[in-house]
Each structure stands twice: as C-alpha cells, then as structure tokens.
C-alpha cells in the first residue's frame, strides 16, 4: 500500500499549485489531526514502551491501544510468517542454495518480516511526523481506512500475494508431482491433504498456492501494459485533440466493441499458448477503457486555472502534460487498474479452462476447475476450491478498487 | 431521427469491417495448415494440394482477403470446412439457440439487477443493503464457467442423484433424448428445464453488475432536490421512488445494455461450452479448434455487428427514456 502511494505522490509534492484547486485542502481535518495524535502517544513513557513491545511482537501496542483491526492483522501476519520459518525450517534454511523461486521466496519472507516490524514501528512514530507531511495522502488514507470492507480486501490481497511468493515454503507437496494413484487418487479433504487431491493424486492446496502465482502475475503485468498504453494514448488524445484525438478514439471504439474473449480464443488457439502471449494479448485488449478515462480527465484538467498558470509560466507542453496534468488524472486510472486486475484474472481462468491458456502440468486455477469436471459428483473439491480461490482474489481486488474509488472521489467524501 | 440512424449505421461500417479484417489476418497469418487437419495423415502431397485449392488456401493472402470481403458484402460467408455446409446455413441453425439463451439471460439479469439495486438504495446502509452488497460483489467477482459448474453440481447432480430433490435440472443440451415423443406442453417444459441452469449462470453474474450500478444511480438521484419536493408534496414513498426517482436513475442502466452485450457474448461462449448448448459460442470454440476459418470469420463478424447494433439500440432507448436527449 505504502509504496504505491509514494510512487503516485512523487510529482504532487514539489509543485504547490498542483494541489486540488477547488479549495478542498484539508482545512477541516488538520486541526482534528493534532489533538488525536497527541493523546494517542501520551507522554514520554508510552512511545518507548510501545517500541519495546513492538519489537517483541509487532501489532501488540496497536492492539493494546484499541486498534483491533490493524493490530490483529499485524499479529496474524507476524505469527504466520514466524510459523512458516519454524515449521518449514529445512526448506527456508536451504532456500538460498536452492532454485531461483526458493531464493525469491526467502527474500520475500525476510522482507515481509521486516515490513511488519517497520509498519508497526512507523505507526507508533507517526504521531510527531504527521503534521507537516503529505496531507493529501493522510486524507486519502483516512478515507480509505474508514472503509472496513476495503481494508479486508487489501488484507486479503496482501495475504494472497504473500501466499504466492512463499509458495515453495508453504506448499505441503510439490504441485506437479503425482501422488500415490492407488491410495490417494481423488482423496477428499483430510488432515493429510487439507483440500483433497485431484485425479492424479496431486495436492490441491499446493497447486492452489502455485496457481496463485500465475493468476497474480498475469493480472498485474497485463494490467500494467494496459495502463501504460492507455494512459499515454488517452493523454495524447485528450491534450492534443484534433485529428490525433479522432484517430485514437476510433481505434478505441474498435477495440472496445470487439468481444474480447473471441479475439483471445482465436489468437490463443492459433498460436502456441504461452504465458508471454497470454499476458501481451490480455494487455493489448484492455487499454481502451483506460484511454477513455484518461482522455476525459485530461480534457477537463487542461481547462483548469493551475494548468493555465503553467502555460503562463512558459512551461513546455510536454512538461505540462506529463508533470502537471497526468499525475492529477491518475486517481481514476488507479481505480480502473485495480478493478481491471480482477477482470484479467477471470479472463485468464476462462482461457485456461477452455484449454487455451496455461498448459498442464503447470498449475493454473482455470485448468484445475476444468480438471474436476469429469469427476464432479464423486470429487466436488477438485472444482470447488480453485473456483473459490478465483472468487476470493477477484473479490478482494474489487473491494480494494471500490474503496479506492470512494476515497479518491471528492464528491463521495464525507 | 432517420438521418441520425443512417449516420450511425454508416459510421459502424468501417468499425465492423476493421474488426473482420483484424480477425482475417490473425487467422491467416497464424501458423498451421487447415488442409492438413482435414486430410488423413497418409494422404499424398498432390491430394493435399488439391484440398488446399478447393478450400481456396493456395492464393496469396491479399487476394483471399479481397475475395472474402467481396463475397461477404453479398451475404456469402463461404463453406464450412468441418461441416461441408454453407456457413450461412450453419449460423442460421445455431443463432436462434444463442438468442434464446442470451435473451432469457439478459431479461432475467436486468429484472433481478434492477430489483436488487432498488431494494438496496431504498434501504441504504441497512443490513439488507450490506448483505446484498457483499452478495452482489461476490457474484460479480465470479467466473461464469465456475458458477455454471457449481450450479450443475448442486441443482443437477446432487439434487438428482444424492439428495433426491423433487426438482432437478438437466446439465447439458437443449432438449432431452425423448423430446420427439413428448406432447407440445411437455416439449415446452422440457426446453424450459434445459434453459434454467445456463440462463441462471449467465444472468446471475450480469445481474450483480447491474444491481451495483442501479444502487449507485438511484442513490445519486434520491439525494436531489426534486425528490425532496415530491416527498414534501406528501406522495407515498413508493411513488416517489418508482415514478420520480426511477425515471432518472434508469438512464445509466440503459447504457449498460449496450456495454453488457460484449460481456454477454463472452459469457455465452463459456456457458454454451460448459452446458453443451448448441449455439454460436460453442460453434466458435469448436471451429477455432478445428481451424474452420470461414465459420470463425463469420462468427466474429456477426459478434461485431451485434455489438454495434446493441450500442445503437442503447443510444436510441436512452433518448426515448430521456426527452432532453434528442438525436437530430
């Protein structure tokens, strides 16, 4: 969360006239920020005690201070990570000499542990630092954090991302290795296989964890491609106008009115399906929505006073567009991107389900759902759990997207 | 009005042509030889060459393209490779099936979606609203193929074989095996029974999206001054919502109709495949796997035309519902 905000916030800082021009700066919030933070931190004693507690068990001070959600989440995360280290000690220990994804997992594990600590400590320390720092982001964060569903969604997204990264440590079995076909074929959920096994006696939980990598990676990269293309083209169309605008928008109309799945199926069936092609095609068919949003934003922004101020100051057109207009147009893009990740994950699942996406034996949620179809009556778990995983992830991204929209849209702010 | 319609239809021609062109070149530049799929592996090189000539695949791409466009304009979509039947006949057989399925799903989706959305907006922030919000988001986040399989699992397999419910629905096809021996009324019921699960799995996902929009739209309208006026006049609440509020709140939902058509088509592709429903979506998937180029091209073309027409329809409905918008 934090890093995303920083990335977006960067250009906003130095140009003071870039702050929203409608007089919506946090005059009403600023006074109330001070006393609340003051009481939270109390005198000299509590911060140091908080730091000690925090080092011992991150989240405990927050929990004691009555912030059940934040504290609880931090503690659960911390305990879960530690349990991973202890429970899978051999794998974690051997990871730095192991294959690349084990090394990445080790790195992720260390960073996650450090991150939980840092978050807990930073939250304690924020009292003094908060006043002068980016007020916009504080306002945004407060608005977002007051939406409990969005927070749950964000937590679930973080959890799934960690699960995917730490899959080599967390997965109880190898995702592609067949188990004992005589004894463990299509075994129901049990202590040995928490979510059961499929028709090749492979552990479903392990395959789910590895499948999360595919889904998340494809969702994130495809959306990144779409956002990049869409933002650039949309901004050019909106800012330059004229013939360029009409050409770009015709293109947008064309791509948008094309049933995406039909194009995807066609391309995937004709070329040998590979992750690379899936990602590129998914990205190349999704940018028009972003382009439309950006164009509309740019059109309204370029008439604003602060842009005219930039023109009067003699800034170049490129500088005005990329430094002053685009950063302010990014809020709705963030929302569209978050919601788009969910759509992309579903589309990838559909393709894999039809046999046109990820190819076996690589674990993908779509394939896993398809695998279970032949034994639906006898082994419901083979189909049910991967589908639930898709719903959970997409739902989380949608919750975050909804929360972002509510927090970023000034009209909805209360 | 007529002028507007004409202009829109003319404007759609390059769009549809562009889409068809893209599909044509993607298909034709892809590796793989359709002729070799339909020939036995032992066939001689000359026979293969002859087959290629019969399919018209021996010509250079640009020539094929021009021929294809030329014949398409005349309404001739060529002959299906896999079925040895004019594409037009194949489509004429299967298109009605898809229209039955998607039409039912669309009607169901809008009815359910609008109903749920209004209920939520009227009871804003109540438990009903929150529960339905989570429920709609849940269905909204669901891939329709999984929902379809889950519906089959519960209402077809378990309901029929395990729990022995009095009512269970067939899991595949459009009609039962003994359809031909049924009376007219039973035939109708049989078709309905086959329609229930596919239509539901399409409609539930769509309805969730519609409900979300409906709620937001009605909430925005209800906050306006003229609604307060209507309440102040002493009108009953249902009249305020239905007659005054809905009139404005329904507008964005109408645009959704145009927006949801492509979604509906991708939905039918998946759902028809899962349920073995003999429609355009299944035809497309099968044809792509069989490299049946003429059918794929015709299908893509048809999808594009329907999407464009759907958008036009949505615009027209929009002006019908909102007298302030007039297309001149």
Q: Which two tokens stand for residue A347?
A: 């589309």
Q: What CATH number should be reported for the domain whose range is A204-413?
A: 1.10.3720.10
pLDDT of residue A38: 38
pLDDT of residue B64: 80
How far A157 CA lies from chain B's nearest CA (Å)?
14
Query: Residue range A220-244: average pLDDT?
Result: 90
pLDDT of residue A26: 40
Query: Residue range A316-323: average pLDDT?
Result: 86
Query: Residue range A272-283: average pLDDT?
Result: 83
CB A283 within 8 A of CB A229: yes
How far A393 CA lies from chain B's nearest CA (Å)?
8
Reported as a pLDDT band with limits 50, 70 and 90, residue A388 is very high
The closest CB to that of A265, out of B30, B288, B311, belongs to B288
With CB atoms and an 8 Å threshold, state whether B143 touches A353.
yes
Reported as a pLDDT band with limits 50, 70 and 90, residue A1 is very low
| Distance of alpha carbon A46 from alpha carbon A48, whole angstroms | 5
CB A170 within 8 A of CB A140: no
Total-model pTM? 0.82
| B97 reaches A (C-beta below 8 A) | no
How many contacts, defined by CB atoms under 8 Å, are there between A and B?
A: 127
| Distance of alpha carbon A190 from alpha carbon A338, whole angstroms | 36
Closest-approach residue (CA) in chain B for A380: B153
pLDDT of residue A40: 42
Q: Collect all residues of chain B within an 8 Å Cβ-Cβ radius of residue A369.
A: 145-146, 149
Identify the residue among A261, A263, A352 best suited for mutation to test binding to B, counting B beta carbons within 10 A and taking the highest.
A261
With CB atoms and an 8 Å threshold, state whether B153 touches A271.
no
pLDDT of residue A41: 42
The better pLDDT of the pair A9, A126 is held by A126
pLDDT of residue A133: 52
pLDDT of residue A29: 40
User: Residue A21: pLDDT above 70?
Assistant: no
Query: Residue range A124-138: average pLDDT?
Result: 59
User: Residue A7: pLDDT above 70?
Assistant: no
How far A98 CA lies from chain B's nearest CA (Å)?
36
User: Residue A39: pLDDT above 60?
Assistant: no
How far A400 CA lies from chain B's nearest CA (Å)?
12
Q: Which two tokens stand for residue B220?
A: 């925005």
The greatest distance separating any two alpha carbons of chain B, rounded to the nearest whole angstrom, comes to: 87
pLDDT of residue A34: 39
pLDDT of residue A411: 57
pLDDT of residue A112: 85
| Distance of alpha carbon A393 from alpha carbon A414, whole angstroms | 29
Reported as a pLDDT band with limits 50, 70 and 90, residue A30 is very low
User: Residue A42: pLDDT above 60?
Assistant: no
Query: Residue range A374-388: average pLDDT?
Result: 84
pLDDT of residue A301: 86
pLDDT of residue A18: 41
The better pLDDT of the pair A291, A263 is held by A291
How far A208 CA lies from chain B's nearest CA (Å)?
15
Query: Residue range A14-18: average pLDDT?
Result: 39
pLDDT of residue A49: 61
**Is the ipTM above a cut-off of 0.90?**
no
Q: pLDDT digits over A324-335, tens only?
A: 888 888 888 888
Interface subset of B 268-297, CB within 8 angstroms of A: 269-270, 273, 284-285, 288-289, 296
Q: Collect all residues of chain B within an 8 Å Cβ-Cβ radius of residue A371.
A: none
pLDDT of residue A11: 40
How far A281 CA lies from chain B's nearest CA (Å)?
12
User: Which contacts of A239-247 are long-range, i.e. CB under 8 A and separated by 24 or more positions?
Assistant: A239/A298, A239/A302, A239/A317, A239/A321, A239/A325, A245/A295
User: Residue A265: pLDDT above 90?
Assistant: no
pLDDT of residue A86: 81
Q: Collect all residues of chain B within an 8 Å Cβ-Cβ radius of residue A257.
A: 15, 19, 262, 304, 307-308, 311
Identify the residue among A266, A271, A374 best suited for mutation to test binding to B, counting B beta carbons within 10 A and taking the highest.
A266
Q: Is the dihedral of CA A95, A96, A102, A108 positive or negative?
A: positive
A354 DSSP 8-state letter: T
Range with lowest mean pLDDT among A173-177, A303-307, B125-129? A173-177
With CB atoms and an 8 Å threshold, state whether A262 touches B143.
no
Q: Could you report the average pLDDT of every consecutive run of 10 residues in chain B (328 residues)?
A: 78 78 77 69 76 74 80 78 83 87 90 92 87 90 89 84 78 77 83 89 90 88 86 86 84 78 76 88 84 82 79 76 65
Q: Collect all residues of chain A within an 8 Å Cβ-Cβ radius of residue B25.
A: none
Interface subset of B 112-151, CB within 8 angstroms of A: 134, 137-138, 140-143, 145-146, 149-150
Query: Residue range A175-187: average pLDDT?
Result: 74
Q: List CB contacts of A223: < 8 A, sequence separation 6 or more.
A: A283, A286, A337, A340, A341, A344
Identify the residue among B141, B270, B275, B304 best suited for mutation to test binding to A, counting A beta carbons within 10 A and taking the highest.
B141
User: Residue A228: pLDDT above 90?
Assistant: yes
Closest to B202 measured CA to CA, from B128, B100, B131: B100
Give the 3-state secondary structure of residue A51. helix
B244 phi and psi, to 5 degrees?
Answer: -95, -45
Query: Residue range A191-216: average pLDDT?
Result: 83
CB B166 within 8 A of CB B159: no
What are the start and end residues of each CATH 1.10.3720.10 domain in chain A? 204-413
Q: Collect all residues of chain B within an 8 Å Cβ-Cβ radius of residue A258.
A: 19, 22, 262, 303-304, 307
| Distance of alpha carbon B192 from alpha carbon B169, whole angstroms | 10
| B313 reaches A (C-beta below 8 A) | no
Query: Residue range A29-40: average pLDDT?
Result: 40
With CB atoms and an 8 Å threshold, state whether B15 touches A253.
yes
Q: Collect all residues of chain B within an 8 Å Cβ-Cβ radius of residue A284.
A: none
The closest CB to that of B32, out of A270, A376, A391, belongs to A270
With CB atoms and an 8 Å threshold, state whether B262 touches A271.
no
With CB atoms and an 8 Å threshold, state whether B23 touches A253.
no
């Amino acid at each position: 969360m934090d890093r995303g905000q920083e990335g977006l916030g960067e250009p906003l800082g130095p140009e003071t006239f870039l702050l929203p021009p409608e007089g919506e700066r946090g005059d009403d919030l600023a006074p109330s920020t001070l006393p609340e933070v003051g009481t939270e931190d109390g005198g000299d004693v509590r911060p140091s005690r908080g730091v000690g507690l925090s080092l011992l068990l991150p989240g405990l001070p927050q929990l004691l201070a009555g912030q059940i959600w934040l504290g609880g989440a931090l503690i659960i995360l911390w305990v879960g990570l530690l349990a991973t280290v202890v429970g899978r000690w051999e794998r974690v220990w051997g990871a730095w000499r192991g294959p690349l994804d084990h090394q990445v997992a080790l790195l992720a594990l260390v960073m996650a542990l450090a991150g939980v600590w840092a978050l807990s400590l930073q939250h304690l320390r924020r009292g003094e630092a908060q006043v002068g720092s980016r007020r916009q982001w504080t306002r945004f964060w407060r608005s977002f954090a007051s939406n409990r569903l969005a927070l749950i969604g964000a937590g679930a997204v973080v959890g799934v991302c960690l699960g995917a990264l730490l899959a080599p440590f967390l997965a109880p079995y190898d995702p592609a290795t067949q188990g004992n076909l005589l004894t463990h074929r299509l075994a129901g959920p049990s202590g040995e296989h928490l979510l059961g096994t499929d028709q090749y006696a492979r552990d479903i939980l392990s395959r789910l964890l590895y499948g999360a990598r595919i889904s998340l990676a494809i969702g994130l990269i495809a959306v990144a491609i779409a956002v990049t293309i869409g933002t650039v083209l949309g901004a050019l169309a909106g800012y330059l106008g004229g013939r360029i605008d009409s050409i770009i928008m015709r293109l947008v109309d064309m791509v948008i009115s094309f049933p995406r799945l039909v194009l995807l199926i066609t391309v995937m069936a004709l070329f040998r399906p590979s992750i690379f092609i899936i990602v590129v095609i998914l990205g190349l068919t999704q940018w028009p929505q972003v382009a439309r949003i950006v164009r509309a934003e740019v059109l309204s922004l370029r008439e604003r006073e602060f842009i005219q101020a930039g023109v009067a100051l003699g800034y170049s057109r490129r500088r005005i567009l990329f430094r002053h207009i685009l950063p302010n147009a990014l809020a709705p893009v963030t929302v569209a991107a978050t919601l788009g990740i969910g759509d992309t994950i579903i589309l990838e699942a559909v393709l894999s389900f039809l046999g046109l996406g990820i190819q076996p034996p690589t674990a993908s949620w779509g394939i896993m759902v398809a695998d279970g179809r032949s034994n639906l009556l006898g082994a419901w778990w083979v189909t049910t759990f991967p589908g639930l995983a898709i719903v959970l992830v997409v739902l989380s991204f949608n919750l975050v997207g909804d929360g972002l929209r509510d927090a970023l849209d000034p009209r909805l702010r209360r | 009005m007529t002028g507007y319609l004409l202009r829109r239809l003319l404007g759609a021609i390059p769009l549809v042509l562009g889409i068809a062109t893209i599909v044509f070149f993607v298909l034709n530049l892809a590796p793989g030889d359709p002729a070799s799929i339909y020939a036995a592996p032992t066939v001689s090189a000359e026979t293969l060459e002859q087959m290629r000539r019969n399919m018209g695949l021996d010509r250079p791409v640009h020539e094929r393209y021009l021929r294809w466009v030329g014949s398409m304009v005349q309404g001739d979509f060529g002959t299906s490779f896999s079925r040895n039947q004019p594409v037009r006949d194949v489509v004429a057989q299967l298109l009605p099936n898809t229209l039955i399925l998607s039409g039912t799903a669309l009607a169901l989706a809008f009815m359910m979606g609008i109903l749920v959305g209004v209920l939520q907006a009227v009871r804003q922030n109540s438990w009903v609203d929150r529960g339905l919000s989570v429920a709609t988001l849940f269905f909204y986040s669901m891939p329709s193929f999984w929902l379809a399989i889950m519906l089959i699992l519960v209402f077809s397999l378990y309901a029929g074989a395990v729990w022995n419910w009095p009512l269970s629905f067939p899991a595949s096809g459009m009609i039962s095996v003994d359809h031909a021996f049924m009376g007219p009324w039973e035939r109708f019921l049989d078709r309905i029974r086959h329609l229930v699960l596919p239509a539901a799995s399409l409609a539930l996902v769509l309805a969730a999206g519609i409900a979300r929009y409906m709620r937001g739209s009605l909430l925005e309208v209800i906050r306006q001054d003229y609604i307060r006026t209507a309440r102040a006049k002493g009108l009953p609440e249902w009249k305020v919502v239905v007659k005054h509020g809905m009139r404005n709140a329904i507008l964005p939902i109408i645009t959704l109709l145009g927006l949801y058509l492509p979604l509906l088509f991708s939905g039918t592709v998946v759902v028809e495949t899962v349920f073995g429903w003999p429609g355009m979506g299944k035809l497309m998937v099968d044809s792509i796997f069989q490299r049946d180029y003429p059918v794929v091209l015709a299908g893509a073309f048809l999808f594009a035309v329907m999407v464009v027409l759907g958008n036009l329809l949505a615009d027209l409905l929009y002006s019908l519902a909102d007298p302030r918008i007039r297309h001149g």
